[in-house]
Amino acid sequence: MVTIGETLGLFARARPGVLRSGAAFEFRIAGAESNVAIGLTRLGVSAGWVGRVGGDPLGAEILRALRGERVEVYAPTDESRPTGLMIKDRRTPTHQSVSYYRSGSAGAALRPSDLPYDVLAGAELVHTTGITLAISSSAAAAAEDAMTAGRAAEGRISLDVNYRSRLWSPGEARRHISRLLPEVDVLFASADEAGLVLGEDHVDPMIAARRLQATGPAEVLIKLGDQGAVAVAGEDSATAAAVRVPVVDTVGAGDAFVAGYLAGRVWSKPLEERLTLACAAGAFACTSEGDWEGAADPDDLDLLRSSEPVRR
Ligand code: KDG
């Protein structure tokens, strides 16, 4: 599996409170597509990430962290641009807000000539998100070329809508994503994102999944957060309840869900099992801080069924 997108340096407030001088921050990295790649490698599926980083400490940390998670990295270092940055403010224990400092970043300068075409030709699946389509026209062109290369080699294409209102308008997102749907095999969306792409609000999730399927993707997954998820694949359909967990941080749960589903696909699990695995992986990611740090390995998923607080 190969994912394509921008990975950012991330400064996250260590404790809830007002953002003022003296506030303590933790330094991490984050990016929807590399989160998915890590989610896959944690589950034991080999995965690569394609991007571009600046020749700065943030870029170096991205390369180190992804390689440390056994992700194959295909990312030139751009000495003339900074690595993009994200600041996560936590005003209350349950409320986070994100500011991006990514315009003109190395990641946004990703372009088709950066793509490892030989690797894409051997990939079982190429995954990207609406974020990569939104950050710049060259990154969107790279994502679309990667999709074309993956398809030409009979790989599958996976797209997570991942709408970010700070990056583009609903109309821009709808037009761009709708144009690509005939080329997509597996589509992930939240209920709101499904409505955005369909141009209709409050559509029943299963009906939305079938309507999206009619536009191209054979498999459509609608993520419903603490309500679970629904899926259609060809004629099949499935629903799964959310797994109840103590929630620490929900950011990145959607990426872990995607990784769980795609891992189930590689392992040729039936639709219902793929969806159950996706929900378990998404839930597990909520139990720790960070956009990818809580991604589950197969043993972790057993913990969701265990009532023992300490294993010895
Ligand atoms: O899905 C979580 C991502 O949104 C996060 O890790 C950072 O890629 C990111 C973004 O652009 O918001």
**Per-residue pLDDT tens over the stretch 17-65:** 777 777 889 999 999 999 999 999 999 999 999 999 999 999 999 999 9
37 lines ligand 1 (CB under 6 A): no
62 lines ligand 1 (CB under 6 A): no
Closest ligand 1 atom to 98 CA: 12
Active site residue 300: no
% of the chain beyond a pLDDT of 90: 85
Closest ligand 1 atom to 251 CA: 2
Distance, CA of 110 to CA of 4 (rounded, Å): 9
% of the chain beyond a pLDDT of 70: 97
39 lines ligand 1 (CB under 6 A): no
Q: What number is the average pLDDT over the span 111-140?
A: 98
Q: Does residue 202 carry a pLDDT above 90?
A: no
E strand or H helix at 284: helix 271-285
Q: Does residue 241 carry a pLDDT above 70?
A: yes
Torsion on CA atoms 26, 167, 189, 191, rounded to nearest 10: 100
Between the CA of 6 and the centroid of ligand 1 the distance, in Å, is 9
Q: What number is the average pLDDT over the span 139-150?
A: 98
Distance, CA of 298 to CA of 178 (rounded, Å): 35
Looking at residue 8, what is its pLDDT? 98
Distance, CA of 24 to CA of 139 (rounded, Å): 33
At residue 61, the 3 state secondary structure works out as helix
Looking at residue 308, what is its pLDDT? 64
Where are the extended beta strands (E) located within 31-167? 48-50, 53-54, 72-74, 77-78, 85-92, 95-101, 125-129, 156-160
Closest ligand 1 atom to 291 CA: 6
Q: What number is the average pLDDT over the span 173-196?
A: 98
**Per-residue pLDDT tens over the stretch 145-175:** 999 999 999 999 999 999 999 999 999 999 9
Looking at residue 310, what is its pLDDT? 64
255 lines ligand 1 (CB under 6 A): yes
291 lines ligand 1 (CB under 6 A): yes
Distance, CA of 268 to CA of 283 (rounded, Å): 22
Angle value at C-alpha 173, between 231 and 213, nearest 5 degrees: 25
CA-closest residue to ligand 1 atom 4:
32
Cβ-contact 247, 227 below 8 angstroms: no
At residue 293, the 3 state secondary structure works out as coil
Distance, CA of 36 to CA of 224 (rounded, Å): 18
**Per-residue pLDDT tens over the stretch 89-119:** 888 877 888 899 999 999 999 999 999 999 9
Q: Does residue 196 carry a pLDDT above 80?
A: yes
Which one from 185, 255, 291, 302 is the annotated catalytic residue?
255
